[in-house]
Amino acid sequence: MPDGEVDRVRDEAQPLGLVVRVDRVLRVSERDRHSRAQGHRGEATAVALLSHRPDRIVRVGLDDDAALHADVQVGQHVALAERGEEHLLGVPALGVPVERPVTAALDVVRVPGSRDQMRPRVGAVVARPGPAVPLPDDGDRIFVVMVHIDHRTLVAMADTLTSIPQSRALITEIPGPRSRALHERRAAVVARGVSLGAPVYAVRAHGGIIEDVDGNRFIDLTSGIGVVTVGHTDESVVAAARDELGRLTHTMFPTVPYEPYVRVAELLAEHTPGDFPKKSVIVTTGAEAVENAVKIARRYTRRTGVAVLDHAYHGRTNLTMAMTYKAHPYSAGFGPFASDVFRAPGSYPFRDGLTGPEAAARTIAHLEKVVGGENLACIVIEPIQGEGGFVIPADGYLAAIADWARDNGVVFVADEIQSGMARTGYWYAVDHEGVVPDLVTTAKGIAGGLPLAAVTGRAEIMDDAGPGGLGGTFGGNPVACAAAIAVYERIETGGLLERARAIGAVLLPELLRLQAKFPVIGDVRGRGAMLAIELVDPHTHAPDAAAVNAIIAFAIRHGVILLSAGSDGNVLRFLPNLATSDELLLDAIAVLEAGLESLG
């Protein structure tokens, strides 16, 4: 950087002083980031990634795989300059004191693939000063701060997307040293009952990729068990939550109400199945939603019985433990349990070979015998069983059960906590069959990762409970509501229902191809972006949980995060989020194929 330029940058940087503050968040995609910066704001002159935590070391780097990442102390003045083809990060060139030596990696920042569009010339980014602290090992939000010296504008935007290349990359053994160290800390203080899935610790995530504390990047086929359906750190969801956070963190809706809660209830009424007046109560977790659905149904029917199915999963609270099928690990030793819960066989086509009407007749006959329809307040069914192994009931099963429930005054509750919110290519999985439940539970995917859940249903049922009968301190938190509103918008304007179906169209044929090649795959099933394979002994069809565990362990070592399911633990479930590219999906399939091969 020529001396004159250094002076100019320093002069212009200084007035910026402590101004790195997010007052405007732009929603931009990776594709249009640079062109937007140029087209609407004049040529960007500097770009750097800064932590929003003023007391943290920040990571600086630009774009893509080849970008060099370097750590810069907060408080340093950072500048970019151009030298031929290279973009220089000229910390010392500014002549400001640095708190530690500048590493070689920090001296040059390349902007791969974007040179044509973006030519940073000279710029400066000034972070707020703070004490030097060790490198962060948790997930800081990253801002892309663009300083337009020429136009004297400063734009800050949330952009973790560009900070995490959408590709798999392994740079340490798995787990890496930092994950192992964290694991030791965890073992000392986190209860054993909190299960351990992937042995790596996430530091940030975007789109379909999770990056761990050691810098490894994984294709995430779990979406936090179907939660970040719109993608990790979706820009619009992050922006909406951040905006709301600056306005309202909490009032408690029943104490002092606010609009976002009402808006979420409107959106739920609009998008849940059924064309009749609907009302909602917004709560915080899935299990809480299920508990409330049962409460509401009991109150409305003045009955107490609750029917659930084999292989069901409804949560870990006292009532939902009683409703959940699998004793180990969910309920064994945690009793006594809530009473008046009756379990019936459902429909599991791969295992029972029954048609939908046959399986429904079996369910109904069982319930009539053990409890009697007239004693049931509700029947709670997952239209696609989640934890149970992505079991899709045979055609006609749900409709027959819904008819029987209606005829017997039993409230039909669809637990769509895992299968709802665009996951299967429809807003709700019951929509595939045109079945209309009386009550629907929604959670997981509704708020892009923030805790929010709801019971929505026929107004006359929902309104039976009197004021104060429903709710809770955190239910419908304004920040989570704002995120949920953004999620609805993302799904609608981003074509995400179609994307979920397209993901199914990419993955299903691949899984069927693998089934033809590997006899251990007994069944391939799923809808949209909710797919599974069931692994069995090819001769006896006995569940093969060991194969599932071996593949999950193989996959994580090769940069893919997978999840098991099934009452026998022998199902591999695939829950990619809807921001996952076909390229990533096929890359993950290649790893899965290698994993299946490794079984020998």
Please report how close the Cβ of residue 276 comes to ligand PLP at its closest, in angstroms. Answer: 24
CB of 50 closer than 8 Å to CB of 58: yes
Distance CA 406, CA 402 (A): 6
Give the residue carrying structure tokens 């997952």. Answer: 382
Number of residues counted as binding ligand PLP (CB under 6 A)? 15
* Nearer to ligand PLP among residue 313 and residue 412 (C-beta): 313
**Single residue of 120, 136, 315, 437 touching ligand PLP by CB under 6 A:** 315
Burial 271-300 (b: 16+ CB within 10 A, else e): bbbbeeebbbbbbbbbbbbbbbbbbbbbbb
* Nearer to ligand PLP among residue 162 and residue 418 (C-beta): 418
**Single residue of 143, 258, 300, 313 touching ligand PLP by CB under 6 A:** 313
CB of 45 closer than 8 Å to CB of 145: no
* Nearer to ligand PLP among residue 222 and residue 285 (C-beta): 285
**Single residue of 147, 290, 322, 578 touching ligand PLP by CB under 6 A:** 290
Amino acid at site 598: S
* Nearer to ligand PLP among residue 48 and residue 380 (C-beta): 380
* Nearer to ligand PLP among residue 63 and residue 387 (C-beta): 387
- Annotate 473-524 with DSSP letters as a single string: TTTT-HHHHHHHHHHHHHHHHTTHHHHHHHHHHHHHHHHHHHHHH-TTEEEE
Binding mask 412-441 for ligand PLP (x = CB under 6 A): ---x-xx-----------------------
**Single residue of 175, 260, 286, 445 touching ligand PLP by CB under 6 A:** 286
Q: Is 382 in the site for ligand PLP (CB under 6 A)?
A: yes
The residue of the chain with the least Cβ separation from ligand PLP equals 286
Instruction: Enumerate the H helices of 202-234 as residue ranges.
Output: 223-226
* Nearer to ligand PLP among residue 94 and residue 417 (C-beta): 417
In the chain, the N- to C-terminal Cα span, in Å, equals 59
Closest Cα partner for 504 from 535, 518, 534, 525?
525
Binding mask 214-253 for ligand PLP (x = CB under 6 A): -----------x----------------------------
User: HSE (CB half, 13 Å, CA atoms) of 261?
Assistant: 22
Please report how close the Cβ of residue 312 comes to ligand PLP at its closest, in angstroms. Answer: 8
**Single residue of 178, 206, 278, 314 touching ligand PLP by CB under 6 A:** 314
Distance CA 469, CA 456 (A): 15
CB of 86 closer than 8 Å to CB of 108: yes
Q: Is 559 in the site for ligand PLP (CB under 6 A)?
A: no
* Nearer to ligand PLP among residue 330 and residue 350 (C-beta): 330
**Single residue of 89, 367, 429, 443 touching ligand PLP by CB under 6 A:** 443
Q: Is 346 in the site for ligand PLP (CB under 6 A)?
A: no
Tokens coding 590: 């290649």
Distance CA 534, CA 388 (A): 11
Interface region with ligand PLP, contact rule CB under 6 A, candidates 11-19, 286-294, 549-557, 592-600: 286-294
Please report how close the Cβ of residue 335 comes to ligand PLP at its closest, in angstroms. Answer: 19
Interface region with ligand PLP, contact rule CB under 6 A, candidates 249-257, 380-388, 515-523, 535-543: 380-388
Interface region with ligand PLP, contact rule CB under 6 A, candidates 410-418, 486-494, 514-522, 531-539: 410-418
Determine how many CB atoms are found less than 10 A away from the CB of residue 181. 15
- Peptide bond before 336: cis, by omega within 30 degrees of 0? yes
Distance CA 166, CA 64 (A): 8
Interface region with ligand PLP, contact rule CB under 6 A, candidates 93-101, 382-390, 396-404, 477-485: 382-390
Distance CA 254, CA 193 (A): 34
Q: 126 - beta bridge partners? A: 77
* Nearer to ligand PLP among residue 443 and residue 497 (C-beta): 443
Please report how close the Cβ of residue 394 comes to ligand PLP at its closest, in angstroms. Answer: 19
Looking only at the bridges linking them, the beta strands covering 77-83 and 70-72 are unpaired
- Peptide bond before 519: cis, by omega within 30 degrees of 0? no
* Nearer to ligand PLP among residue 77 and residue 314 (C-beta): 314
Give the residue carrying structure tokens 């001769």. Answer: 539
**Single residue of 273, 305, 349, 386 touching ligand PLP by CB under 6 A:** 386
Interface contacts to ligand PLP, rule CB under 6 A: 225, 285-287, 290, 313-315, 382, 386-387, 415, 417-418, 443
